[in-house]
Structure 1
Amino acid sequence: MTVDDRRQRERTARRQLIVATARDLAEQEGWDAVTTRRLSTEIEYSQPVIYKHFTSMEDLMDAVALEGFSELAESLGAARRDGPPGDALRRVAHAFMSFAAENPALYDAMFSRTTRLRFGAPDSPAALVAGFEELRQAIVDSTTTTSPEVETLTEVIWSALHGLTTLARGGRLRLGLDRERIELLVGHFVSGRSVVIPGS
């Protein structure tokens, strides 16, 4: 290994440690606890070292969110492939809700906190596109829709899942009915009929 290779590996490891520490702090104490001063104390790096990797907290938040979207895509992909295609949307919907429940601070970084990441754009990062694509493929697998507007249907279901997640976490829905809500949502799209989108 060359000196440059070793330095790059060390730099990558430092960056990952900063991201992991930020995530751990946020899950334990909330995002308000994640400051450069606190990170510096936790990982024993000076603040200037942290700023070499992330010029602002916004940069760090974007990195956390991207990591979260990669993990979400993996989770949704594993659920989609783990059974018959006709039931893929149901499995993916449950996986989405489980991911949010198991990683509340990470989910907030991805979906609720301010970010500079561009969604639904030609230059959207691959990690953002991957999770959306897993849900889109689950819809294709589970329904008979042939609409060229399947992306719009994916956005609607994505929004519904996020809405259910957010309302449930905020105590705005009755307790213990998450599974029933997903069944009702998915049932509208996997009943064996084609989904027709107005104007398509």
Structure 2
Amino acid sequence: MSVQERKERERAERERLILATAREIAEQQGWDAVTTRRLAERIEYSQPVLYSHFRGKREIIGAIALTGATEMAAALRAAAAGADGPHARVTALARAYLDFATRSPAVYDAMFQLDGGLAWARDDTPEPLKDAFTALLENLGEVTGDGVSPGLFTELFWAALHGLATLTRAGRLPAEDAERRIALLVDRLAVI
């Protein structure tokens, strides 16, 4: 291995460490607790080293959002692959989405609530974000109903899931009714 390859590998390892540590702090204490000073202390590198990877918290949030989008897309595809039939598939998608939001709230916030400097629904949207949307789209096309654009239906379904995730987490919807909400959403929106 050349010196250059070793340096690139070490840089990539540092970057992974920065992101893993930021994610850990955010999941445990919230995003307000993620500061460059705290990150530098936890990873035992100086703040200038941290800034050589990311210009600040916004870029860290953006990088975590991209990782989260990749994880969400994989979870959605796995849920859909394990379901038999359109109704079960759409229900599994809804559960997987809401489970992801519950299991990784700081990552979910990085993806949808915080400013990570990422563009959504534009030509310059990063591929992981597009892929998370596509993971829904590719499994909802058969339940949109006549004359309804699969893309538009997917946006509506995603918006409904986002609302459920956000309102449930904020305590504005009782968690014990989550399964009933999923069933109602699927039964009312998906034409099966």
User: What TM-score does the superposition give when structure 2 sets the normalisation length?
Assistant: 0.94
Displacement after TM superposition at 1:189 (Å): 3.3
Map 1:1-40 onto structure 2 (within 5 A).
1-40=1-40
Asked whether 1:99 is paired with 2:100, we answer yes
Gaps of 5+ in 1: 193-200
Gaps of 5+ in 2: none
After the TM superposition, list the runs of 4 or more consecutive aligned residues in structure 1 that deviate by more than 2 angstroms: 144-148, 189-192
Tell me if structure 2 keeps the 8 A contact 1:69–1:131.
yes
Other-structure match for 1:84: 84
- How far apart in 1 are the matches of 2:136 and 2:146? 16
- How far apart in 2 are the matches of 1:39 and 1:46? 9
Cα offsets for 1:153-174 (capped at 9, x unmatched): 1101100000011111111112
- How far apart in 2 are the matches of 1:180 and 1:148? 25
- How far apart in 1 are the matches of 2:184 and 2:81? 22
Other-structure match for 1:111: 112
Structure with more helix by fraction: 2
Farther-moved stretch of structure 1 (90-99 vs 170-179)? 170-179
Q: What fraction of aligned residue pairs are identical, expressed as a percent?
A: 43
Other-structure match for 1:128: 129
1:101 maps to a residue whose letter is T
Instruction: Give the SS at the match of 1:117.
Output: coil
Farther-moved stretch of structure 1 (47-56 vs 3-12)? 3-12
Other-structure match for 1:167: 167
Other-structure match for 1:149: 149
2:78 maps to a residue whose letter is A
Tell me how many residue pairs correspond in the alignment. Answer: 191
- How far apart in 2 are the matches of 1:146 and 1:4? 57
Other-structure match for 2:186: 186
Asked whether 1:44 is paired with 2:44, we answer yes
- How far apart in 2 are the matches of 1:163 and 1:79? 20
Tell me if structure 1 keeps the 8 A contact 2:94–2:161.
yes
Displacement after TM superposition at 1:147 (Å): 4.1
Displacement after TM superposition at 1:98 (Å): 0.3
Distance of aligned partners of 1:9 and 1:184 in 2 relative to their CA distance in 1, 3 Å threshold: same
Cα offsets for 1:97-154 (capped at 9, x unmatched): 000110111111111112311101112111001111111112124x263646211111
User: What TM-score does the superposition give when structure 1 sets the normalisation length?
Assistant: 0.91
1:116 maps to a residue whose letter is G
Cα offsets for 1:9-49 (capped at 9, x unmatched): 11111001000000000111111110010001101000000
